[in-house]
Amino acid sequence: MRIPKETPSTTTTLIISSHRSMLKRLAIRVCPRAPFLVPRSVLQGLRPASRSLHGKKKVSSRERFQKFTAPAQRNSIIRTRYPSLASLHEALDRNNWADVESIYPDVPTSILSHHDTFRIAQLLHTTLRINGMAKDAAVQEANEKLLLATDRLVDFYKARVLPPHTGASLHLLSIYKESKEAGKMKELWHWLSAQEGNEYVSQAVYGAAIEALAYAGEPLADLETLYERALIRFPGKFASYHLSPEAVVPDRGQPAFCRNVSISLLQGIFTARLLNGDWRNAYLAFDVVLRLIPDMVPKRFFELIIFHRPFAEAVQVYRLAGLVNVLSTDKSSNILIGRAAAVVEHASDQQKANVVLDAIGILEAEIYARRRLLSSQVSRVVKMLTYMAWDDKRCETNSTKQRNFDIAECGSRLVKLCAPYMSGDIGSTLNSMLQLAGKTNHKELVVEVCEKIEELGTWNEVTHRALVTCVGKSGDKDGLEDAWKLLVKRAEQESRDLSDRDWLCLAGAVHSIDSPAAVAFATQQMALHNLSPELQQRFQETCKPMPGKGKELSKPPEEPIFREMDVLSKALDMLEVRTENRDTMNVYKFFGHFRKGTNTLSSESTLSSESTLSGESTLSGESTVAAPATNAQIVYNELTVDPTQPPPPHTEAQLSKAGLPFDTLRFINWNCVNDLLLLAEGFEKAKKAADEEAIAERTHLNFNQDVQSLHLYDKLSFPANLEAYRLRILELRGRVE
């Protein structure tokens, strides 16, 4: 059956003619004598329509050049045709959000890349963080505008005007979290999690969502379910196994082992557990990240514990962070020293010594991290030493008086060691030294500090009040009169009236001296000035001595005196070596703190590259240590080595940033987590007992977590027996009931 030919259009005539000529050339090659006899089906099979899969076409240099320059040419053409895209990229490079906000809505969606979306969201997030959450009206107004811009950006994102990018999703969730916009954050996450494919979410986005939802108050059980869902959706290479507390690394002596393992996801569930009080699983997650990347742990892990857990646990974690130099700012050290200064007022004599040791260790870690010490930090440590000193009425023996003298010398030595690294107004530190010298009745130190103040010219009203307090603590009535007259003269020179603080400072000094002559002097001075009736009443009440003052003061124990001062002296020796050589790794040792088996590093142990895991003097305690290092090493090997796998090949020892072998660092981390679990368990038991007592007595719960954590120093211990020690570790880690 013959099919009638269709009349070709004019536009296709040239194409058909070209096709026929190509077939004719092929036919001539197959059968030169009678090309018209070659079947058309054969010719169709011989057409060079596509390259052979096995043949390799020779590519000319010109084609290679065009291949690599084509994207650049395309981008150049796009920028030429769409100048708004070029303007957007320039604004992003300048980090100018105002320009970016005005440009990106006008850029056609078809030419925006996924990376453009990421950079836009990143710049918005960065701009908000730079502004901070200041209370200034102008900053608040700017932040409100940025939040409105975030809402618009999210609307574009949901409408698919902007191409998807998991990094952009993460930034948008974080903006709502940090701005405390819980409702908007939940709405955005609900939309993101409903999208098919992995263009909008990843393990890291799930981690950010879990963290944001934790701050929004979502139940921990729901967040744990979300965590499991993320592991199923993004399994990676056995991520679920590597993020479990029972997992082991193939070679403990090698650095980071986190291929296809999302630390961001682990950080999210760690945050959720910590904020919800699930201390055991939170610390086990912390143990996982310390095992996977021992010297690359994100600082957020450390900061959360420092900010939210009791003081004893926070200090342990701060030391561990200092060991690998993770914390990049002095925010954590400021918070810890401030908390130490607050708890020292309510601590026993022994606990005060422990707190001072912690504070000196924090200063040493700051110097090791090459950060400047703030004058306020050193001042607070000096004030802690002042709290350690006893009043004169308690110092009836030569040994107690010598103790006060030694404490004053420690304060003087501390300031001299820290002075080269201090920034800020040193006057506050000298004022604190005046108060310490006065309370310890160290007259030579008072003169030395006053001469230094005169030399630096830092006299001010605070300094004069400190001098009045100083002579009052020392019980010097004549010195009080001289110091007060200097304060009055200073006020006259500055043409200011004496403040309430000045008068109450005088009253406190008179109260300390507890002398009729001092009371008479204060009454005389009060008559020379026009005080309000309320201030007069407060002044007179403060001047009066407490009934029976001095009789109820307990006598200080004799035995711990020299022990406290010996440990303080050793701590200052370590600080001195640190100031002489900031790179010396084995100076940074964990103090013993007189603890019986809290399994920390000994003050006698050295953290150097020669450290081994033989267990010799690498765990805590002094002569009273209850958990020998050999026991710790045996159990550590049992829990962190897979006996069914062949031993790792012998390779050259890898050193961490701290100069420690990675196997040693992982061992230190493991022990530190055991300490944290022990302290956290003890703290929870104490809190539960306090709750039950308050309920039984029908009173309000009076429970200071930082003060209570100090009581645990001397109460907790690990068993010395290997079997008991192994069982205790398994209990703390939740592996046995």
Same-domain pairing of 538 and 604: no
Calculate the CA 38 to chain-centre distance: 81
**pLDDT at residue number 64:** 56
Query: Which of 686, 680, 675 has the alpha carbon at shortest distance from 626?
Result: 675
Token output for 221: 């059980």
**pLDDT at residue number 461:** 84
Phi and psi at 577, nearest 5°, equal: -65, -40
**pLDDT at residue number 608:** 35
Is 615 within the bounds of a domain?
Answer: yes
Distance separating alpha carbons of residues 213 and 272, to the nearest angstrom: 8
**pLDDT at residue number 33:** 54
**pLDDT at residue number 307:** 93
Same-domain pairing of 537 and 635: no
**pLDDT at residue number 156:** 92
Same-domain pairing of 512 and 608: no
Same-domain pairing of 530 and 600: no
pLDDT digits (tens, 9 = 90+) for 304-326: 999 999 999 999 899 888 888 77
Is 112 within the bounds of a domain?
Answer: yes
**pLDDT at residue number 596:** 39
Is 16 within the bounds of a domain?
Answer: no
Is 323 within the bounds of a domain?
Answer: no
Choosing from 179, 210, 234, the residue where a domain stops is 234
Domain count, the chain: 3
H helices of 293-423, in order, are 299-308, 311-324, 331-343, 349-368, 375-388, 398-418
Q: Which amino acid is at 159?
A: A
Same-domain pairing of 611 and 497: no
Q: Domain range spanning residue 491?
A: 344-368+371-547+556-560
pLDDT digits (tens, 9 = 90+) for 555-564: 555 555 557 7
Distance separating alpha carbons of residues 697 and 690, to the nearest angstrom: 11
CATH of the domain at 359: 1.25.40
Same-domain pairing of 632 and 686: yes
Same-domain pairing of 217 and 130: yes
- Residue 252 burial (C-beta neighbours within 10 Å; 0-12, 13-18, 19+): buried
Is 332 within the bounds of a domain?
Answer: no
Same-domain pairing of 595 and 455: no
CA–CA–CA angle 201, 205, 207 (5° rounding):
140
Residues of the chain with pLDDT under 50: 1-7, 10-12, 14, 43, 45-56, 548-553, 586-628
CA–CA–CA angle 98, 99, 102 (5° rounding):
90
Same-domain pairing of 400 and 535: yes
CA–CA–CA angle 509, 514, 519 (5° rounding):
75
Same-domain pairing of 602 and 535: no
Rg of the Cα trace of the chain? 36
Same-domain pairing of 358 and 495: yes
Same-domain pairing of 499 and 616: no
Is 725 within the bounds of a domain?
Answer: yes
**pLDDT at residue number 231:** 92
Using CA atoms, how far residue 437 sits from 292, 433, 468, 730, in Å, is 50, 6, 12, 50
**pLDDT at residue number 684:** 93
Distance separating alpha carbons of residues 690 and 703, to the nearest angstrom: 7
Is 30 within the bounds of a domain?
Answer: no
Is 279 within the bounds of a domain?
Answer: no
Query: Which of 390, 441, 438 has the alpha carbon at shortest distance from 550?
Result: 390
Let me know: does 268 contact 209? Beta carbons within 8 Å.
yes
**pLDDT at residue number 627:** 42
